[in-house]
Structure 1
Amino acid sequence: MSPSARAAVLGGQVLADLLRVADVDPELLVTDFTGTDPALSHRLGEAEVLFTGWGCPPLDSPALGRMPRLRAVVHAAGSVKHHVTPACWERGLLVSSAAAANALPVAEFTLAAVLFANKRVLAAAHAYRAARGPIDLLGHYPTLGNYDRTVGLVGASLIGRRVMELLRPFDLRVLVHDPYADPDDLAALGAEACPLEELLCRSDVVSLHAPALPATRHLLDATRLALMRDGATLINTARGSLVDTEALTRELVSGRLYAVLDHTEPEVLPADSPLFDLPNVLLTPHLAGSLGGELDRLAATAVAELARYAQGLAFRHAVDPDRLAYSA
């Protein structure tokens, strides 16, 4: 992992727990698998498990060739796509990810965004600031509130499913579009399977939880954005590439839609983007995922997986290579 990832996830109790379950040198940090350092090459040659995080180099065939004893990869973060290559699966490596732990704060952020969106918190706050006095809430926002609203989730991912669970106590209808999800499975979670176009037409809030794939690039283009109800809110805690930024900007500048955007394309918008200043847009800097104290949960999840491996048990959060092609 990178030095910054190590500093963030391997501190205090987590490091102590790691040392209890594995024979590991806490001073050893690998950021390069090229084998240019003889001492490092020896250590990699002895490694049975890699404990990885953000910034891990790709585990390609040359890298794996320097690790003949390697049997497993335990990732103390979400997606493994940045470093787990087809060569890992060909080698038969076991791979675990803390993606389920990372899903929790993203789902919590999404829940807050849904409830605030339907309550028109952002718009009302801007109006109140401008008025510096009383504002006519019912006059300006006659449909304000969460009762009997419809929330559309695009993607029944780990995060999407956790959002469904969090939404269950509220008087909301939940629609889900996911071509790989079982409708009966979604129904058990309190949601209704729905074609994407219908979901966009029916929803007061649309929240994106699909992976970034060639097939999902600009999933919400100008045509599909135009299907959203006037005054509907788009929440993106997934990936910016799911949305055509130019088309969305036009909709938001017109004032027809609202948006909560934790991801954009590009990842940091140009300084002159109107989205920074629009009163109907909340832009956040990739804030929804695990940060601060939440990183301890990622590391603790990974250490628990390593402990299971040491006991000869299957990973609780194993990565399935067959599902990786259409997941985050």
Structure 2
Amino acid sequence: MNHRPHALLAMRPGLEMKLFTPTALNRLGTLAAVDAALVIDNFTTGPAREALARTEVLISGWDCPPLDAEVLEAAPRLRAVIHAAGSVKHHITEACWERGIEVTSAAGANAIPVAEYTLAAIILANKRVLPIQDHYRSTRRPHDWMDWSTLHPEMGNYRKTIGIIGYSQVGRRVARMLDSLDVEVLVHDPYVGLAEARQAGITLTGLDELVAASDVISLHAPSTQETRGMMSRRRLALMKEGATLINTSRGALVDQDALVAEIRSGRIWAVVDVTEPETPPADSELYELPNLLLTPHIAGSLGGELRRLGDYALDELANYVSGRPFANPVLARELARIA
């Protein structure tokens, strides 16, 4: 039976207008009793405490404060958190799991633009777009089309080997997208068994073997104690001459100093969307290296893509008010293997 729960928006103020169109806000008001003008990023204020006391569903987004035991004590009716973004590790605490609060995340929806960015990066990397652009700009003269094959005889995606590290929601999407190309795809993920791999039609391999065999390596593993620095100096040295490393996951997965040294040598290429720290210091070599494409964490949902996250949140809210289970629940036992 449908019911209309009290809901509260908890995120960076202003984000709600990017997540929800006017039509979506109307739908939100139909599904739940919510003050769309009240957007909380601090649970300690008077208005926040008053709203928490009646909240049954929290719709969270980036910059939602942690839902610790003290906050939950002020929210005795809270039953569910719908996160209109990716990872819930920043605000869902052990107290939430102990209380039995249901949690869902738009990580799957956010994976779509990350996978799109990755596919574009793979294609452009193998096509040698960056060095050809630099050469074309510096010479500013006509070139015969065969000149580029002479300068980069290995260019192109035909029969290249793409290594995916982490068969996550993003990794899975990238693998499926690569089905349209004439490439070989290798996957490393310790949580994926042979039966699942056979069903998905992917080739599992060891991490070192994948790194050594791949023309492009794309990172899609979560940041954990086990994955931190997994692309170490030793492992980066295993990469083929002219190979490309793509990181749209987390900067912590890569030994950044070692990566800079490898790129500086001209031996490998890289596409880096995430760093550690998230914004490199102003004097970092990352800004200057010619065989590196550096972007400021833009692979995930931005601009119009944010509306996909808002629509996802409303779909999950509709499931909740109809008594249906969440389509994409986040489970405590899975936290160690997700972003």
TM value normalised by structure 1: 0.97
Identify if the C-alpha distance between structure 1 residues 4 and 26 changes in structure 2 by more than 3 Å, giving closer, same or farther: closer
Which of 175, 185, 194 is the equivalent residue of 2:205? Answer: 194
Secondary structure of the 1:168 match is helix
Q: How does 1:286-305 map to 2 (within 5 A)?
A: 286-305=297-316
Q: Does 1:61 align with 2:69?
A: yes
Quote the Cα distance in structure 1 between the aligned partners of 2:21 and 2:127. Answer: 39
In the alignment, which residue of structure 2 is the partner of 1:29?
Answer: 39
In the alignment, which residue of structure 1 is the partner of 2:256?
Answer: 245
What amino acid maps onto 1:166 in structure 2?
M
Q: Pick which of 268-277 and 218-227 moved more.
A: 268-277
Structure 1: runs of 5+ lacking an equivalent: none
In the alignment, which residue of structure 2 is the partner of 1:213?
Answer: 224
Kindly state the Cα deviation for residue 145 of structure 1 after the two structures are TM-superposed. Answer: 0.7
Q: Is the 8 A contact 2:42 2:48 kept in 1?
A: no
Q: Does 1:3 align with 2:16?
A: no
Q: How does 1:232-271 map to 2 (within 5 A)?
A: 232-271=243-282
The two structures, once aligned, show a CA RMSD in angstroms of 1.2
Kindly state the Cα deviation for residue 20 of structure 1 after the two structures are TM-superposed. Answer: 1.5
In the alignment, which residue of structure 2 is the partner of 1:75?
Answer: 83
In the alignment, which residue of structure 1 is the partner of 2:58?
Answer: 50
Q: Is the 8 A contact 1:164 1:189 kept in 2?
A: no
Which of 132, 136, 147 is the equivalent residue of 1:124? Answer: 132
Which of 167, 191, 214 is the equivalent residue of 1:156? Answer: 167
In the alignment, which residue of structure 1 is the partner of 2:336?
Answer: 325
Q: Does 1:224 align with 2:232?
A: no
Q: Is the 8 A contact 2:164 2:185 kept in 1?
A: yes
TM value normalised by structure 2: 0.94
Kindly state the Cα deviation for residue 45 of structure 1 after the two structures are TM-superposed. Answer: 1.0
Q: Is the 8 A contact 2:244 2:268 kept in 1?
A: yes
Kindly state the Cα deviation for residue 13 of structure 1 after the two structures are TM-superposed. Answer: 2.1
In the alignment, which residue of structure 1 is the partner of 2:152?
Answer: 141
Q: Pick which of 4-13 and 292-301 moved more.
A: 4-13
Q: Is the 8 A contact 1:95 1:318 kept in 2?
A: yes
Q: Is the 8 A contact 1:240 1:263 kept in 2?
A: yes
Quote the Cα distance in structure 1 between the aligned partners of 2:202 and 2:122. Answer: 15
> Alpha-carbon deviations, 1:142-195, whole Å to 9, x = none?
111111000000000000001011111111100011100123323333321011
Which of 112, 119, 124 is the equivalent residue of 1:104? Answer: 112
Structure 2: runs of 5+ lacking an equivalent: 1-10
Secondary structure of the 2:301 match is coil
Secondary structure of the 1:174 match is strand
Secondary structure of the 1:3 match is coil
Q: Does 1:115 align with 2:123?
A: yes
What amino acid maps onto 1:263 in structure 2?
V
Quote the Cα distance in structure 1 between the aligned partners of 2:308 and 2:259. Answer: 34
Which of 257, 278, 285 is the equivalent residue of 1:274? Answer: 285
Which of 27, 31, 52 is the equivalent residue of 1:17? Answer: 27
Kindly state the Cα deviation for residue 133 of structure 1 after the two structures are TM-superposed. Answer: 1.9
Q: Pick which of 54-63 and 1-10 moved more.
A: 1-10
Q: Provide runs of 4+ in structure 1 moved above 4 Å.
A: none
> Alpha-carbon deviations, 1:113-141, whole Å to 9, x = none?
01111111111111111111245212211
Secondary structure of the 1:67 match is coil
Q: Is the 8 A contact 2:104 2:328 kept in 1?
A: yes
In the alignment, which residue of structure 1 is the partner of 2:7?
Answer: none
Secondary structure of the 2:39 match is coil
Q: Is the 8 A contact 1:5 1:55 kept in 2?
A: no
Secondary structure of the 2:103 match is strand
> Alpha-carbon deviations, 1:291-320, whole Å to 9, x = none?
000000001001100000000000001101
Number of paired residues?
A: 326
Secondary structure of the 1:138 match is helix
Quote the Cα distance in structure 2 between the aligned partners of 1:40 and 1:243. Answer: 39
